[in-house]
Amino acid sequence: RPAADTVSAMTLDACMAYAVEHNPNVRQQIYANRNYRQEYIASIAALVPSISASASATTSFGRSVDPETNTYTTVANLDNSYSLSGQIPVFAGLSGINTVRAARVMRLMGIEELQQARDEAALNAMQAYFDVVYYTESVRLAREQRQTSAANLRKSRKLYELGLKSAADVAEIESQCASDDFLLTQQENNLALAKISLCEAMNYPSGCCPEIVAEIAVGTPAGAAAYGAVLAYALEKHPKEQMRLKYSVAKGKYYPSVSAGGGYSTNFFMSLDDRSLYAPFGSQLRDNRGYYFSARLSIPIFGGLTKRTSVNRARNNWRIAELQRDATLRTLQSEVAQAYQQM
């Protein structure tokens, strides 16, 4: 961040850009979106086959079993084995597909939440910026009013000395001058507080405040701002859809699941005392190879009510999201109507 003594006057756009860049909520949402992306990738990866490989080597001394003759021997042996296997889910109550869809919705929601965090940071900085502009001009006007009152007071005192004004007239102007003093002090305090609020909105380094460009031109928007499209957009991006998909994922655990798999394995065996007793390494790997294919059907019968409770929780979250959607819609209608009227 720039030092306080090297900062030039910042425009409104510069203050808003600085606030967005340094806002902690924006940074937190960026990291949250990265987690959403990882969850989306993980949900897709759960649908593809899983592959694993293993290799092992065992050396035995003393009495052991010969894998070729299946008899006991007392020689030192070396056993080496390799395997490769894979498995793919075929059907699991569509829970995998719904998990991908829910993760995709969460990722899109994260993008909208990031934009909302940026907009809020920019709008807060804009509000604080205009407060500084407003109170800067208020201080200038109060100072001019104070100077005018002081001049009137000096003039009335001279007229009093000449007998052209009474003491009551002078006291009245002194009272007005004191009132203007109070107004100037009040506006200066308001300006100081506005600068503190601007630093807070921008997340600016503590102990200093940026100088701003107070001369700005603001245009008045023309025409009526229709908020029907805004409400439709908010309805489309609301988390209700994500909760409904989570409910579908939970229900999918009630259904049987089917998976298929296969594998390949081979091994090598050698006597360390007499290596000529067994075939070479390459020949054994070729001759001892084996394959297998498998299919697995899993039918849930009873699991301690975990599936039932998770389904009920997902259904309740879905209903809560629907109620929140209705409340958000009503609040949004009110806020747009109030903002339109204020404009």
pLDDT tens digits for range 27-37: 999 999 999 89
Contact 106, 32 (CB under 8 A): no
User: How far is it, in rounded angstroms, from Cα 79 to Cα 59?
Assistant: 6
* Rama region for 312: left / alpha / beta (φ>0; ψ in -120 to 50; rest): alpha
Which 8-state DSSP code applies to residue 221? P
Q: What is the pLDDT of residues 211-270, one digit of tens each?
A: 888 776 666 555 554 556 655 665 565 444 555 555 566 655 665 667 778 888 888 777
Handedness of CA 36, 41, 44, 49 (dihedral sign): negative
Whole-model pTM: value is: 0.60
The structure tokens 């107070």 sit at 214
